Amino acid sequence: EKIKVFCPATIANISCGFDVLGVALDAVGDEMVVRKVDKKGISITKVVGQELPLETEKNVAGVAGLEFLKASDYSGGFEIEIYKKIKPGSGIGSSAASSTGAVWGMNHLLGNPFSKTELVTFAMEGERLASDVAHADNVAPALFGDFTLVRSYTPLDIVPIKAPSELYATVIHPQIEIKTSDSRKILKTTLSMETAIKQWGNVGGLIAGLLQNDYELIGRSLEDHIVEPIRSILIPGFDIVKNASLQAGALGAGISGSGPSIFAFSKGLEIAQKVAIAMAEVYDKIGIEYDVHVSKI
Ligand code: HSE
């Protein structure tokens, strides 16, 4: 018995929501085949598209799968094939796609014994392997779809939020690799009350904008006073790309996950495509290779 799983890419943080906000992309993702077998344990039998380890303990899908098995009374195992389209280190949740695809497929094949929130806790162990920290802001939207807010980590409390119907994301990936673990190390560990006030004002504004379909409010709330000023230094042309996207009509823009991808939200497909062209022109001028895509949220 087997299942083919689509594992969506995700934009984490969404500017102001470091480690708590994320959104799944409809059009970008990996594929995975999960097969139920008698042999105990998890075997990664194939990885196509990227060089990734096949050893279960070194592969994020393997680690997430082992967590699932630990919590389950199922005595058999699973084989996993990964068809990777998301580049690792690109900032759109490559490890989260693999971790969640594995546990979602396994859960499905056993008749869904676990809730989505329980699956998030298993997949978070894959994130721990990939980035040293078990953050849930990519795995939660990959499992729930649309936007998610991690209201609390202990206990884990995931709040799903439906995306407004005309919201599109443009994501450009300059072809450099940034490891999440590295880009976490450079962050400050303390912040001023003044900065915190600005940040939670924006988090609240963004959630309200999403729930009220208020695109202008969504745009105004896409600000990050904590992480973006530090991490953007690692991304060539960040400010120019961001400004170009706003000039082209985007509601707002920021770093996708831990970068180097840059995302912009737009109202409607037409603007999102114009934003893609404007962002691409910047990297054409600077002479940096990139991938760019537009996705409905
Ligand atoms: N919240 C994580 C970070 C997401 O920004 O480090 C990584 O994709």
- In tens digits, the chain (297 residues) has pLDDT values of 999 999 999 999 999 999 999 999 988 999 999 999 999 999 999 999 999 999 999 999 999 999 999 999 999 999 999 999 999 989 999 999 999 999 999 999 999 999 999 999 999 999 999 999 999 999 999 999 999 999 999 999 999 999 999 999 999 999 988 888 889 999 999 999 999 999 999 999 999 999 999 999 999 999 999 999 999 999 999 999 999 999 999 999 999 999 999 999 999 999 999 999 999 999 999 999 999 999 999
- Token pair 């962002």 is found at 279
Cα(74) to centroid of ligand 1, in Å? 32
Length of the chain: 297
Among protein residues, the one with the nearest Cα to ligand 1's atom 8 is 257
Rounded CA gap, 134 and 239, in Å? 29
Q: Are 3 and 34 in contact (CB under 8 A)?
A: yes
What residues are in contact with ligand 1 under a 6 Å CB criterion? 12-13, 18-19, 93, 135, 137-138, 180, 184, 257-258
Among protein residues, the one with the nearest Cα to ligand 1's atom 6 is 258
Rounded CA gap, 187 and 229, in Å? 10
Per-residue confidence (pLDDT) for residue 202, from 0 to 100: 98
Per-residue confidence (pLDDT) for residue 179, from 0 to 100: 87
Per-residue confidence (pLDDT) for residue 203, from 0 to 100: 98
Is the backbone of residue 10 left (phi > 0), alpha (psi -120 to 50) or beta? beta
The residues that bridge with 160 in the sheet, in sequence order, are 148
Is the ipTM of this structure higher than 0.95? yes
Cα(127) to centroid of ligand 1, in Å? 10
Q: Which residues are identified as catalytic?
A: 127, 180
Per-residue confidence (pLDDT) for residue 142, from 0 to 100: 98
DSSP H/E element including 239: helix 238-247
Cα(197) to centroid of ligand 1, in Å? 21
Report CA-CA distances (Å) from 152 to 83, 117, 156, 158, 183: 32, 12, 5, 7, 23
Among protein residues, the one with the nearest Cα to ligand 1's atom 4 is 257
* Global pTM value: 0.96
Per-residue confidence (pLDDT) for residue 26, from 0 to 100: 86
